[in-house]
Amino acid sequence: MITNIKFNEVIINDGFWTPKLNQWKKDLVRVCLDKCYESGRIDNFKKAGGLMNGDFEGIYFNDSDVYKVLEGAAYILQLEKDPVLEAEIDTIITYIEAAQEEDGYLDTYYTLVEPENKWTDMEKHEMYCGGHLIEAAVAYYQATGKDKLLQVAIRLADYYGEVFGAEKRHWVEGHQEIELALIRLYHATGNKNYLELAKWLLEERGHGYGQGMIWDRPEWGPAYCQDDVPVSEITEAKGHSVRAMYMYAAMTDLVLMDEASEYKEALDRVWEDIVETKMYITGGIGSTSMNEGFEESYCLPNETAYCETCAAVGQILWNQRMNLLNKDAKHADIVEKALYNNVLSGISFDSKEFFYVNPLESKGGHHREAWFDTSCCPTNLVRLLPSIGNYISQYDEHTIFINQYIGSAFQVEGTEVVIDSEFPFSGKVKIKMKNLNKELKLRVPNWTKSFDLKMNGEAIEYSLANGYIEIGNLEQEFISLDLEFDMLLEEVRSHDNIFENRGKIAYQKGPFIYCVEEMDVEGEFDKIFAPEKYRYVETKESSLAGASSLTLSHENGKLVLVPYYTWGNRTLGKMKVWIPKERTDSLYY
């Protein structure tokens, strides 16, 4: 059985990530909890539970934001004790418990606003909210050993099983999430009813059972929530990108558990469709606000790109599972691309403002905000960012895989592993291991053209397969590997079918995609071009929170590039990733 190293089993000691993690642990949960109080999200539970008077506040899916913040808090508590935070979460849990109805139902919108209309509109996120409750409950139990929230989640899941299922009532959840949550609850409890319900919910899709706002709106229709075909028959990515990612993640979980081998070909097909025709260079997905999701192949506009932060989070969740399934580094490449670009752009340097949408070009009007009426993105970052240790390594009975070169220390079945990394600004990595008793597979990032590898200062034999350096079982008490990946500044061109990018290039160095910001341009921003010949200097910038700028000097001036994730932190202004190539003023050239 293959599995990943869990984030709470990893000590991260990394020049790039450790300062960010320390700030997120200190500020990010606090920022989001405060907003949940201010917006009435937490009061909704008190009202539904009869602990205070008043009407429901906000949008019908607001419960989910509270659950996601609790999940993120649970991850922080797994990393370090915080009695004050734990006591605060315990209090919020009492409000949630009070809001649960006698039969197990829990959704404050319907309890307070439309109690007579439960389960009448599949778009209204009833099970979506429940899924995030379940994930928070499992995480908090694992963090503290306290099971009050877990018991709430179990009662809710048992209620779902009583109402829905074979020979009961059909249900196509309008926003997927419950499926992967039920699988997680199965792992926590061993109750196979939850696993069976998760698969049943997936199998409900594509048979015409859907009803509600999604299905009533012609501009959306069943494809919006991946209800147009049975899940095993999926051939291409359609509809809302976040919903798709959560669904694909649950499908992959089931394949990994030998519960749905029939999903494997569909997952491989849709992965190829996304990566080859529907993914932005930043790892972002979703090209339009019309459906917050996918359009036709190669329809990837820059200024109107959606690239929702939540969708990038979903990319990471799904691609990690796909790597467990296929043992192919191409999936870890997508994790890296989405994490260092689309995800990190979603949060400001001070952790207090957020992007919901991450375009690749801006005329100056796009900026981060402190909160949103729909705040799924900040609350998704709360739960992803403290848990990045999940993505460093995976292992099975024969092999240890290193997927992300993040400075860290962990153990794998008796083998001690220490990674010293200069990523993401240099390709140098040192990996030390004690009591190695497995084969090694080290990811070769898809952006590098060559690398050098030595063990204990000497050359070593290896092979290459599926994007990994493969080293046989050395069975040595101690080894030290020195890896250096060439990390050159690359000019990237897009497929000719992406009409908007014809005659343009983007810049990449290591995992980072770069962009140009108006504040760094001397002259007119709209007349910048990518020079044919240049020399560049890399400069660490305090104004970029320690990230480096690249200054390309050429005969007509200079072009300053900054990592895409940093844009919009210094001042508001125009930005673009895809830069027109150098040209003359002639009509034809």
CA distance 194 to 200: 10
Q: Which two tokens stand for residue 422?
A: 């200069």
Closest CA to 133 of 45, 213, 241: 45
Peptide bond just before 115 cis, omega within 30 deg: no
3-class DSSP state of 82: coil
Peptide bond just before 19 cis, omega within 30 deg: no
What does DSSP say about strands 512-517 and 557-563: parallel, antiparallel, or unpaired? antiparallel
Q: What is the pLDDT of residue 583?
A: 66
Question: Using the 8-state DSSP alphabet, how is residue 164 labeled?
Answer: B
Q: What is the pLDDT of residue 588?
A: 55
- Distances, alpha carbon 503 to alpha carbons 319, 452, 536, 550, 581, in Å: 31, 34, 22, 22, 6
Q: What is the pLDDT of residue 330?
A: 99
Is-above-0.95 flag for pTM?
Answer: yes
Element (DSSP H or E) covering residue 309:
helix 309-326
Residues 507, 580 contacting (CB under 8 angstroms): no
Q: What is the pLDDT of residue 585?
A: 59
CA distance 506 to 581: 10
Closest CA to 198 of 125, 120, 257: 257
Count of Cβ atoms closer than 10 Å to residue 387 Cβ = 20
Ordered by where they begin, the domains of the chain are 14-211 (no CATH), 395-485 (2.60.420), 489-580 (no CATH)
φ/ψ region of 15 (left if φ > 0, alpha if ψ in -120 to 50, else beta) reads alpha
Residues 432, 443 contacting (CB under 8 angstroms): no
Q: What is the DSSP string of 442-478?
A: EE--TT-S-EEEEETTEE---EEETTEEEE-----SE
Annotate 461-476 with b (16+ C-beta within 10 A) or e (fewer): eeeeeebbbebeeeee
CA distance 232 to 250: 13
- Distances, alpha carbon 297 to alpha carbons 191, 249, 272, 278, 496, in Å: 41, 22, 11, 6, 12
- Return the residue matching tokens 């196509």: 172
Q: What is the pLDDT of residue 474?
A: 80
Closest CA to 510 of 561, 471, 465: 561
From the DSSP assignment, how many helices (H) and strands (E) are in the chain? 17, 22
Q: Which two tokens stand for residue 283?
A: 């790892």
CA distance 206 to 210: 8
Element (DSSP H or E) covering residue 245:
helix 241-256
Q: What is the pLDDT of residue 540?
A: 94
Backbone angles phi, psi at 416, to 5 degrees: -90, 130
Closest CA to 582 of 475, 505, 492: 505
Tell me the β-bridge partners of 538.
550
Q: Which two tokens stand for residue 6?
A: 């869990």
Residues 364, 573 contacting (CB under 8 angstroms): yes
Q: Where are the alpha helices (DSSP H) in 24-124?
A: 29-38, 41-48, 63-79, 83-99, 108-112
CA distance 531 to 34: 47
3-class DSSP state of 528: coil
pLDDT in tens, the chain (589 residues): 899 999 999 999 999 999 999 999 999 999 999 999 999 999 999 999 999 999 999 999 999 999 999 999 999 999 999 999 999 999 999 999 999 999 999 999 999 999 999 999 999 999 999 999 999 999 999 999 999 999 999 999 999 999 999 999 999 999 999 999 999 999 999 999 999 999 999 999 999 999 999 999 988 999 999 999 999 999 999 999 999 999 999 999 999 999 999 999 999 999 999 999 999 999 999 999 999 999 999 999 999 999 999 999 999 999 999 999 999 999 999 999 999 999 999 999 999 999 999 999 999 999 999 999 999 999 999 999 999 999 999 999 999 999 999 999 999 999 999 999 999 999 999 999 999 999 999 999 999 999 999 999 999 999 999 999 999 988 788 999 999 999 999 999 999 999 999 999 999 999 999 999 999 999 999 999 999 999 999 999 999 999 999 999 999 899 999 999 999 999 999 999 999 997 655 555 4
- Distances, alpha carbon 126 to alpha carbons 32, 104, 119, 247, 248, in Å: 22, 13, 8, 16, 20
Which amino acid, 36?
C
Residues 234, 270 contacting (CB under 8 angstroms): yes
HSE-CB for 355 with a 13 A CA cutoff: 32
Tell me the β-bridge partners of 504.
580
Count of Cβ atoms closer than 10 Å to residue 279 Cβ = 23
Q: Which two tokens stand for residue 348?
A: 């400001």
Q: What is the pLDDT of residue 476?
A: 82
Closest CA to 518 of 555, 562, 474, 459: 562
Q: What angle do CA 400, 405, 411 make, to 5 degrees?
A: 40
Residues 123, 174 contacting (CB under 8 angstroms): yes
